[in-house]
Structure 1
Amino acid sequence: MPKTDTSGLTQLGGAAALPASPEEAVLERVPHSHEGERYVARFTAPEFTSLCPMTGQPDFGHLMIDYIPRKWLVESKSLKLFLGSFRNHGAFHEDCSVYIGKRLAELLEPEWLRIGAYWYPRGGIPIDVFWATGPEPTDLWIPDQGVPPYRGRG
């Protein structure tokens, strides 16, 4: 089995503070040791939080990130720290969701990436945001994200 090259990582294997903002967060990647093999990698963040930019009150979401890697994989600790950096960041649901997708797509240059951001109600209305780098591939199994429409989501 190939060994993943982790030599360039700065956060894995040691203490790393939560970044002050998403812009300051360092997303890291590792070489894909199975380059050419097509599959979907999924990250689920069921307790994502950010702040309402108007009231400063916390907003909660359930994020599902799917991607088909090419040359790079996202390093999961850096992803956790990046997502955690939104806890003190004020932005609308749409802004947070699309920003996360774009940062990952820029870092990884994947064959395909999508983010489903299922937000809990704000003002009585749940806001779900879906962003992708392109159409869903038809020749690879892409599982449903499995998050039901809001009905006391849980």
Structure 2
Amino acid sequence: MTTDTSGLSQLGAQTAQPTSPETAVLERVPNPHADSLYVARFTAPEFTSLCPVTGQPDFAHIVIDYVPGDWLVESKSLKMYLTSFRNHGAFHEDCTVAIGKRLTELLAPQWLRIGGYWYPRGGIPIDVFWQTGAPPQGLWLPDQGVPTYRGRG
């Protein structure tokens, strides 16, 4: 089975890092198994953004689970989109929820959830979770596999 990639602008091409999440191009491809109930997971264990107040870097382990409908996110465009946050100032909650909403708008998935497991800032780790609703009936949904922050020791 061949996937139609004719409309993609980034895959297989030299692509400059987007300057912001707003200018990043997210692309999609047809789902060849739109008739099947399954979860696709993307894990970004080295996600970075900037504190909107201090400009200092913030770090997170992001896990995105979604049940595709007619579309799949093209993974290079997702990597470039997530990279665009490196110079973007926003609070943890804003980054996490904005990613989930942007993917939902692009893909119209049957279901999507995102977990943002943020490393401590000022001694307090912040975990942010967002989803589109209840998962579909009969879906096998694994744990996101990221333990809550326990510090060192």
Calculate percent identity across the aligned residue pairs: 75
What whole-Å deviation, never above 9, does each CA across 1:49-97 have from its counterpart, x for those lacking one?
0000000000000000000001000000000000000000000000000
Number of the residue aligned with 1:97: 96
Cα offsets for 1:9-64 (capped at 9, x unmatched): 00000100110000000000000111111100000000000000000000000000
Shift of 1:120: 0.2
Partner in structure 2 of residue 76 of structure 1: 75
Partners of 1:80 and 1:21 in 2: how far apart? 13
* Alignment partners' CA distance in 1, 2:97 and 2:139: 24
Question: Residue 65 of structure 1 corresponds to which residue in structure 2?
Answer: 64
How big is the shift at 1:138? Answer: 3.8
Structure 2 equivalent of residue 55 of structure 1:
54
Partner of 2:108: 109
Question: Secondary structure of 1:53's partner?
Answer: coil
Distance in 1 separating the partners of 2:151 and 2:135: 29
Q: Distance in 2 between matches of 1:28 and 1:101?
A: 15
Q: Where do 5+ consecutive residues of structure 1 fail to align?
A: none
| Partner SS, residue 96 of structure 2 | helix
1:7 partner SS: coil
- SS of 2:43's equivalent in the other structure is strand
**Partners of 2:110 and 2:136 within 8 A in 1:** no
CA RMSD of the aligned region, Å?
A: 0.9
Deviation per CA, 1:101-133: give whole Å up to 9, x if none.
000000000000000000000110000000000
Moved over 4 A (4+): none
Q: Which residue of 1 aligns with 2:11?
A: 12
Count the aligned residue pairs.
Answer: 152
